[in-house]
Amino acid sequence: MVPIPFLQRLHQTLLPDYNRRAAVFWWLTVSAGSVGIAWALWSLARSPADQVGQVVTGILLAVAAAFFPIVLPRTKSAFSAGEVFIFMLLLLHGTHAAMLAAAAEAAVASSRVSKRWSSRIASPAMCALSIGVAGTLLQLVLAHLDSIGLRSSAVVAIATLWAAIVQFLINSVLVSSQLRLKRGERPTWSDVAGNFGVTAAVNAASACAAAMMAITFHATGLSTILVVGPPLALLLAILHAFFKQQEANRTIAEANAQAARREAEITVQHLQEMHHIAFHDALTGLPNRRRFVEELAKVVQRAVDDPQHGFAVMFLDFDRFKFINDSLGHAAGDEFLQLVAKRIASRVRPDDLVARLGGDEFALLLRRAQPEQGVVELATRIQEAVSQPYRVAGTEITSSASIGITVSTHGYDKPGDVLRDADIAMYRAKATGKARHVLFDSTMHTEIARRMRLEGDLRRAIADGALEVAYQPILDLGDERLLGFEALARWTHPEFGTIAPLEFIAIAEESSLVVQITDLVLARACADLRRWHAQAPHWTGLRLHVNISDKDVAQRNLPQRIRSVLFEAALRPEHLVLELTEVILMRRLTTEGQVLEELRQFGVGLSIDDFGMGYSSLAHLSSLPIDSLKIDRSFIDGLTTRPTDAAIVRTILDLGRSLGRQVVAEGIETPAQLAALRALGCTTGQGYQLSAPLTAQAVDLLLERMDLRGAHSLADGLADPARLFH
């Protein structure tokens, strides 16, 4: 398009982003403007010297004014006092003078607002062209008015005003066309109309003022201009400063408003974060108890308003979480909970809410009405999902959940009641064998009420020393020689009668009362054993087995407690065997292991109770600080009827032999079981077949009788079944 290499390079530098049409327009405008300016210069060169002086002065004044544009607040429009000089030059010296002034003024103004040379060049060219056309038209009109004798000051002023409007229009068309073409759009008249505002009016007024000044100049010479000029310049300067200040104020106000908006945004964001923290569990990212109760409250209210809107709540508790935490550490426990949370969340509908209530407790809110069957099926699916193996801390583990379920048909009006009942049902699930789900029914309330009553009564019974201790003989299965006793707590409730130890020990374990029970049993049993030792020299070998709980091992002072109770009863450590469950023993690997180690060093015997029911890894067994294993009652129960149980008993006996640990069989109920154990080489045992647990007085009597008869077989001593504890 541009043949000459220099112009091509110029084109590249000036208009790299111009499309073809925009570039053609630019080059045409600039060329036409340049021709106009060249003609104007040529015309000026031919003018008389005094006129050249005036023209140059006018141009310089227009240029000077361009340095102080009056920017109209809230618009992008500006005008400069230069317009007045341009139109004065037009009227006094002709179009060429005005073109030069307009081009010079535009060059300064555009350099101030634009960094692009394409604009800095096009702008003077456009101004020269627009004033050139408008000026020529004005000259023609004025010449015509002259010829018909209509020229007067007012007519000149009006004609100049119109010339200013024409000039503004032409300039607007050129500028907006250039912009539109550059954006690849078609120029529109509405652009020009849109521009035609305050600036056009100010331009027209400037032209009018210029006309008046030109007329005055004609009539009175330079003097009036010199008098009017300075106040006019002052007025314009004040306007310039005033508008500039206004613009600055506006910019500050806008910046402030923006800062305030940003601050508000940050506050909202912060609030949202706080809200998230307050209503979510940090570990799993699931909603927390607070959020769950809030949502549950809404759903309960909805069901109160319209019983058609049924809902269901599930309460989940993991059966082996404590074990995972204890044996693999808390980091593994956390990892497990995260995996579990994902599995549960992936099994429910988007409408349901899964929350972590704390520890290993999760809750599910099924917001939509569901038939009970659907809820139970979902519980089964969740149970299946969570019982798949997990990989945690490099180890594969399995777990299961006990789930309590309640549904809106119980007519709840408080979210707390819903959670309470789901919790009760969950407890029932745990108590009836774990890894199952139980639907709440209202009879469970009676159970809970009993439980709470028992807890209070148990506390009182302990304080009053109303608990008793029963002693179940432990015998050598070969010759039925008495080796010692297992001390078992007994509680006779004033109203409910005998309470099974499994029931009250479970209550005591939950409320930490169990530590006081241990102390009570230990103190009584040690004192009794001491008495029995004193009865005859051959009884000094009798040992005492005492059950201790998880909560006891968690107490750092357990070894001191044991030491002082033995000291008080003047017994030696080897007279005492502590029975612990497998889970407690696994703690040897963690913090509380120290307590067990200390006890063992002291010389107290340690035995694993209910062996085979827990999770003891056989690999760990050889390194555990224990000296005996007690085969769980359930295996003895099936010993003569279930081959698998017989195999397990045999394996445990082999294990004991190869690890050098004594094996005790508990719960021997029949002669057949006793015979089978003897045949398998089991040397030690206890059970109703041999003797039920006895009161202390019954043991006193038993030992006396055995001494009297010189018998060492228990059967000879046992009589008076009324004194026995069952």
Residue 122 and residue 29 in contact, taking contact as beta carbons nearer than 8 Å: yes
Q: Which does 501 bind (CB under 5 to 8 A by kind): Mg ion, ligand C2E, none?
A: ligand C2E
Residues 357, 514, 595, 706: which binds ligand C2E (CB under 6 A)? 514
The residue (of 399 and 518) whose beta carbon lies closer to ligand C2E is: 518
Closest CB 435 distance from ligand C2E, rounded Å: 21
Write down the number of H helices and E strands in the chain.
28, 18
Size of the site for ligand C2E (CB under 6 A): 26
Contact characters 484-503, ligand C2E, x per CB under 6 A: ----xx----------xxx-
The residue (of 352 and 609) whose beta carbon lies closer to Mg ion is: 609
On the 0-12 / 13-18 / 19+ scale of CB atoms within 10 A, 42 is exposed
- Rounded distance, CA 59 to CA 296, Å? 82
Closest CB 606 distance from Mg ion, rounded Å: 12
Candidate ranges 14-22, 235-243, 296-304, 513-521; the one touching ligand C2E (CB under 6 A): 513-521
Q: Which does 65 bind (CB under 5 to 8 A by kind): Mg ion, ligand C2E, none?
A: none
Alpha helices in 469-542 (DSSP H): 501-511, 514-535
Closest CB 370 distance from ligand C2E, rounded Å: 40
Closest CB 579 distance from Mg ion, rounded Å: 4
Size of the site for Mg ion (CB under 5 A): 4
Total number of residues shown for the chain: 726
Type of residue at 69? P
- Rounded distance, CA 371 to CA 354, Å? 19
Residue 449 and residue 388 in contact, taking contact as beta carbons nearer than 8 Å: no
Q: Which of residues 526-565 bind ligand C2E (CB under 6 A)?
A: 547-549
Closest CB 450 distance from ligand C2E, rounded Å: 18
Closest CB 458 distance from ligand C2E, rounded Å: 13
Residue 684 and residue 483 in contact, taking contact as beta carbons nearer than 8 Å: yes
The residue (of 26 and 485) whose beta carbon lies closer to ligand C2E is: 485
Q: Which does 195 bind (CB under 5 to 8 A by kind): ligand C2E, Mg ion, none?
A: none
- Rounded distance, CA 641 to CA 645, Å? 8
Contact characters 429-468, ligand C2E, x per CB under 6 A: ----------------------------------------
- Rounded distance, CA 405 to CA 699, Å? 48
Residue 665 and residue 677 in contact, taking contact as beta carbons nearer than 8 Å: yes
Residue 471 and residue 486 in contact, taking contact as beta carbons nearer than 8 Å: yes
* Tokens 């024409």, residue located: 166
The residue (of 405 and 489) whose beta carbon lies closer to ligand C2E is: 489
Q: Which of residues 513-552 bind Mg ion (CB under 5 A)?
A: 547
Q: How far is CA 598 from CA 553, 566, 592, 601, in A?
A: 11, 15, 10, 5
- E strands in 192-332: 312-318
Type of residue at 576? L
Q: Which of residues 638-697 bind ligand C2E (CB under 6 A)?
A: 666-669, 686-688, 693
Residue 591 CB neighbours (<10 A): 11
The b-or-e profile of 408-434 (16+ CB within 10 A means b, else e) is beeebeebeebbbbbbbbbbbbbeeee
Q: Which does 687 bind (CB under 5 to 8 A by kind): Mg ion, ligand C2E, none?
A: ligand C2E
Q: Which of residues 580-619 bind ligand C2E (CB under 6 A)?
A: 609-610
Closest CB 556 distance from Mg ion, rounded Å: 24
Q: Which does 667 bind (CB under 5 to 8 A by kind): ligand C2E, Mg ion, none?
A: ligand C2E
Q: Which of residues 560-599 bind Mg ion (CB under 5 A)?
A: 579
- CA 83, 87, 89, 94 torsion: positive or negative? positive
Smallest CA-to-CA distance from 195 within 168, 163, 177, 167 is with: 168
Closest CB 619 distance from ligand C2E, rounded Å: 25
- Rounded distance, CA 95 to CA 184, Å? 34
The residue (of 656 and 693) whose beta carbon lies closer to ligand C2E is: 693
Closest CB 489 distance from ligand C2E, rounded Å: 3
Closest CB 623 distance from ligand C2E, rounded Å: 24
Q: What angle do CA 551, 402, 342 make, to 5 degrees?
A: 105
The residue (of 81 and 629) whose beta carbon lies closer to Mg ion is: 629
Residues 95, 199, 406, 472: which binds ligand C2E (CB under 6 A)? 472
Residues 335, 423, 528, 609: which binds Mg ion (CB under 5 A)? 609
The residue (of 200 and 546) whose beta carbon lies closer to Mg ion is: 546
Residue 603 and residue 571 in contact, taking contact as beta carbons nearer than 8 Å: no
Helix (H) or strand (E) holding 366: strand 361-366
Residue 640 and residue 676 in contact, taking contact as beta carbons nearer than 8 Å: yes
The residue (of 335 and 609) whose beta carbon lies closer to Mg ion is: 609
For Mg ion, the binding residues (CB under 5 A) are 547, 579, 609-610
For ligand C2E, the binding residues (CB under 6 A) are 472, 488-489, 500-502, 505, 514, 517-518, 521, 547-549, 579, 609-610, 633, 666-669, 686-688, 693
